[in-house]
Amino acid sequence: MKPAEQTSRKHKPSTQGTHFSTRGWVTPSIVGLLCIGLLVASYERGHGNLHKLKTRVDPAPPPEVIQTGPGGQDPVRLSRSATTIGKDAEFVSATFLPGRGMNVFQITALIPGHGEVPLLASPSLPVANRLLSGQEEDVNGSSSTLLGGAILLPWAQRLFGTPTSTPGMLETNWNGRKLTFPAATPQSTMSVEGLLLNRGADSVKSDVLPDGQSLQAEFHPGDFSNGWPSTIDVIVNAQLTAHNVDLTITATNTGHDPAPLGIGWHPLFAIPSGDRTDALLKIPSQTIMEMDRHTGLPTGRMVPVEDSIRDFSRPAGTRIGVGNLNETYTKLQPDLDEGPVAEIRDPAYNVKLRIIPLTSNITSMRVVSPVDKPWVSIGPNTNLDDPFGAEWGDPANAGIVTLAPGATFKWRVRIEISLIGTAATNAP
């Protein structure tokens, strides 16, 4: 080939792109490539890999998740869709505060004619954040008992002690060993209710049930800041279904020494209508723990309340009335094959809640209902007030167990919801 011909052929414009364009292939090709890209992205998303694609394209770290719940951890909410809308009362949600010892912050239910109704006396989350600040009155977590349902551990109810050289700390003795714990206030000889109130969860996971959701939270509080003889691990399990909320607390001694233990719960059950005087209460007991009016301490004796204004043992319930109620009911009586069952009935909303202990170690219920508050607290507990006090002779007589190394202790309660029915609304 001649040099001139080589030069001419080298610089001759190619017509390949022109032919490609004029034959109409450019647009279909682009569309095809876009479709392939969308298919790949869809496949990666379905297999949980889209974030990997994004990371390869943009290696910037994800935005920081800001924790907004009390105790620096976001609330955990279990929920379910209603299945009997307008026909029956059923639970639809349960919210927990993992940053505050898994406080059961709120439970809601659909009640025919009233929509979704809160069943625990709790404020809004912003107000709860202010109350559960960890400052002033809440420095040891005591404000957790003012809302929702606080979990009490390694003891339930009130614990009394003598001041130590450390301001705000108390001590008592158990089997010759010294237990230390914070006072409710700097000058008080009474403690807050347990040491889990302001503890944050070490892990929380949830799962799906056929008719709702469940969760499990783990706490590793150790020896509660050197106050307890051994290290304790705590697992809280909760299940939400249409008519049941199950709460299970399991404590395990992970240390090398025995340790005393009690478990309880301090829920504030709201009366949906707000009419406390007409609400009906049933407590499966006719005996209460006697208290010394001068010292505020239990005497170690149980006294009968049959046919008195503090007797709420009638099967259909008894109106709460207009007085204050603050008693610990003991010697719980089983209800046929269900075990002891407490009930709160609100005739105005035609709804009732049943509180059912599912473990035999729950031997008392602390019942509190202030005259000016539209709620009733029914606390199923394994131990009584001042369990290490001399009035009991032995902490075991007050319900405190000795948890051996490697041993576990389980507490379980069920809450049931249903309509009362027309026949029960006029109960005296």
Q: What is the pLDDT of residue 241?
A: 98
Delimit the domains of the chain by residue range.
12-57, 70-424
User: Could you report the per-residue pLDDT of 189-205, keeping only the tens digit for each?
Assistant: 999 899 999 999 999 99
User: Could you report the per-residue pLDDT of 290-340, keeping only the tens digit for each?
Assistant: 999 888 899 999 999 999 999 999 999 999 998 899 999 999 999 877 889
Question: pLDDT at residue 51 above 80?
Answer: no
Q: What is the pLDDT of residue 29?
A: 52
Q: What is the pLDDT of residue 47?
A: 44
Would you call the peptide bond into 28 cis, given omega within 30 degrees of 0 as the criterion? no
Q: What is the pLDDT of residue 187?
A: 82
At 35, phi and psi to the nearest 5?
Answer: -65, -40
Higher local confidence (pLDDT), 173 or 192:
173
Average pLDDT estimate for 140-153: 96
Nearest to 411 by CA among 359, 367, 363: 359
Average pLDDT estimate for 14-27: 43
* DSSP assigned state of 424: G
User: Could you report the per-residue pLDDT of 212-237, keeping only the tens digit for each?
Assistant: 999 999 999 999 988 999 999 999 99
Question: pLDDT at residue 4 above 80?
Answer: no
* CATH topology classification for 70-424: Beta-galactosidase; Chain A, domain 5 (2.70.98)
Q: What is the pLDDT of residue 277?
A: 92
Cα–Cα distance, 356 to 380 (Å, whole number):
9
State which H helix or E strand residue 6 sits in: helix 3-10
Mean pLDDT of the chain: 86
Q: What is the pLDDT of residue 53?
A: 31
Question: pLDDT at residue 34 above 60?
Answer: no
Question: pLDDT at residue 62 above 60?
Answer: no
**pLDDT-based confidence at 19, cuts 50/70/90?**
very low
